Chains A and B, each alone.
Chain A
C-alpha cells in the first residue's frame, strides 16, 4: 500500500497507528548462525537484519596490524531483494560504505579492543528486508551478536532514528516517514556511559528539535535494551 505525505501524521497517529514516541515491534534472536562466532537476527517492524561476527582473527591485509589493539571492520550490505521496489545491486554501494564506517566507530568505542592486539574483529550486517532504519537495526543486532560471540564489550548499544513530520518529532521512522518526512537522524547510544556513539542528520532541524529527538531516542533505547538482554538470557538458559 502506498502512503502519501499527508497520511504520515493524522490527529497524532502515524500511518501504522503508532503515536510519535512508539517503537515498531522489536524482536532479536541471538545465536542464529552456525559458522559465525556470534550472530543475531533482528526483526524490527518489517526490517529483517542478520548479523554475524567473525574473529578476533588474523589481520588482513597484514600491514594494517595494530600492536596495541584489535581492528574492527564492519560490512553493511543490503541484499538485492531487500526493498519493495526495483531489484538492487549486490554488495556495498557508497551509502553502505559510509554506514559501515560510522558503525565501525561505534564498535571501536564499546569493544575492549586492547584485549586483542594484532587481531581483527569482523562484523557483517546483512539487510534481508528493509523498511526504514536499517542501519540502527543492524547496529542494535550487532551488539547482541558480539555478546553472543563472547567478545568483551563495555555495553550493549541501541540505535534508533528520529525524524519529523509537520514539525512533530517522531522516533523509529518507517520507510514512508524516512522517504516523505522532514528529516532523518539516526543515533546509537550507550546507556551505561550516557553517550551518543553514532549521529547523522539530514534535512532541516532546529537545535530544540534535535535535542527533543535525542531525548526520545534515549527513552526508546531503554525499551530495546530490555529486549536485547532477555534474548541473550533466553539463549543461555540452562536445561
Chain B
C-alpha cells in the first residue's frame, strides 16, 4: 500500500536523523497510564494506555479440572483479540498469527515468573481455579506487547477471588485478593535503519525490520523473550537490550 510506504519512509527519515516524529528520544516511552478495576463485572480488570495505544485486560476465574500431569495446580489461560475496532488492518475472524503470538508471549512471562502461585489455586481433588486473562486491543498505535503486559499485570493485581462453597464458585462474593508474587513487565525494541528504539508507534513499526521483547520479573531476571521480524541481532545488541530493558523496568512497575 502506497500510504504505508510513505509512512515507512517518513519514520525512517526521522530515525536516520536520530530523532522521532513525535520528538521522543529512542529510549523513551510515550505517556503511560494504567487504570485498574475498569470492568467491575470481571474479577480483575485494567486499561493500559501507552500514548494512543489502548489495551483492556479482564480476568475471569472459573472452576476447572486440573491437567493430568499437575493435579495439585490451578490453570492460567491468556488470550488476545486484535479487534477490528483497533486498526483498519485488523479483520474479524479466527485469531491471526500476530494475535496468537501476542497472547503466547504474555502468557510465557506470566507463567515463567511465578507471579501467580498455581498451588494456591487448588481447591480439592479434581477441582482447581482457572484464571482467564483476556486481552482486548481496542486502539493500536504500536507497542502492543508492552501495553498488553501492563494491562494483564494490573488486571491480575486487582483480581478478587470468588468464594468457593459446596462445590460451587460464588461470583458475587469475592472476599480475597489473588496473591501476586512479582511484577512482570516487558520492553520491546524495534530495529529501524539499523538503530534500536523502544515503544514504537504503528507508523514506526512499518519501518521496523525486527523486534525483540524482554520481560523481567525482578531487577535482574528475565522471564520471557521473543524475537520477531526478519532482522538479525548480534549478541552485543542482545546484551545491551537486556540492560536497557531492566533500566525501563522501574518506570513500568511504577504504573502498575
A contacts, CB < 8 Å to B: 94-95, 97-98, 100-102, 105, 108-109, 185, 190, 193-207, 210-211, 214-215, 218
Query: How far is B238's CA from A98's CA once the two chains are assembled, in angstroms?
Result: 21
Contact B233 A196, beta carbon cutoff 8 Å: yes
B228 contacts A211, C-beta separation under 8 Å:
no
Q: How far, in whole Å, are A220 and B104 apart by their CA atoms in the complex?
A: 28
Cα of A196 to Cα of B97 in the assembled complex, Å: 21
The CB with the most chain B CB atoms within 10 A, among A197, A198, A201, is that of: A201
Residue of A nearest to B103 (CB): A94
Among candidates B220, B229, B232, residue contacting A207 with C-beta atoms closer than 8 Å = B220
A selection of 10 A-B contacts at a CB cut-off of 8 Å is A101-B228, A102-B101, A109-B231, A200-B225, A204-B217, A204-B221, A204-B223, A206-B221, A207-B243, A214-B238
For the complex, count residues of B whose C-beta is within 8 A of A: 36
Interface majority SS on B: helix, strand, loop or mixed? mixed
Q: Is the CB of A195 within 8 A of B232?
A: yes
- Given A97-B97, A205-B221, A207-B239, CB of A195 within 8 Å of CB of B233: yes
- Segment of B35-43, B46-54, B108-116 engaged in the interface with chain A: B108-116
Q: How far is the CA of A102 from the CA of B246 in the complex (A)?
A: 24
* Complex Cα spacing A109 to B13, Å: 23
- How far apart are the CA atoms of A193 and B223 in the complex, in Å? 28
Q: Considering the chains assembled together, what is the distance between the CA atoms of A198 and B211 in angstroms?
A: 11
Task: Give CA–CA (A210, B239) in the complex, Å.
Answer: 9
Please measure, in the bound complex, the distance between the C-alpha atom of A200 and the C-alpha atom of B233, giving whole angstroms.
13
B104, B113, B212: the one contacting A95 at CB < 8 Å is B104
Indicate if B171 sits at the interface (CB-CB under 8 A): no
Q: Is the CB of B113 within 8 A of A196?
A: no
Tell me whether A98 and B222 are in contact (CB under 8 A): no
A112 to B228, CA, bound (A): 19
Distance between A237 CB and nearest chain B CB, rounded to angstroms: 32
Instruction: Please name all residues of chain A whose beta carbon is closer than 8 Å to the beta carbon of B153 when the two chains form the complex.
Output: none
**B224 to chain A: which residues have CB within 8 Å?**
201-202
Residues from 214 to 256 in B contacting A, C-beta threshold 8 Å: 217, 220-235, 238-239, 242-243, 246
Closest residue of chain B to A72 (Cβ to Cβ) is B230
Complex Cα distance, B217 from A78, in Å, reads: 32
The chain B residue sitting closest to A194, CB to CB, is B234
In the bound complex, CA of A201 to CA of B231 (Å):
18
Is B85 close to A, CB under 8 A?
Answer: no
Whether the pair A202, B223 counts as a contact (CB closer than 8 A) is yes
Taking CB as reference atom, which chain A residue is nearest B98? A101
CB distance from A122 to the nearest CB of B (A): 15
| Contact in complex: B232, A193 (CB < 8 Å) | yes
Inter-chain contacts of A197 with B (CB < 8 A): 227, 232
Q: Is the CB of B232 within 8 A of A102?
A: no
A100 adjacent to B232 (CB under 8 Å):
no
Distance between A136 CB and nearest chain B CB, rounded to angstroms: 13
- In this complex, what residue of A is CB-closest to B218? A204
A201 to B113 CA separation, bound complex (whole angstroms): 12
Please give, as numbers and ranges, the residues of chain B lying within 8 Å of A215 by CB-CB distance.
235
* Smallest beta-carbon distance B74→chain A, Å: 19
- Is the pair A204, B113 in contact by a Cβ cutoff of 8 Å? yes
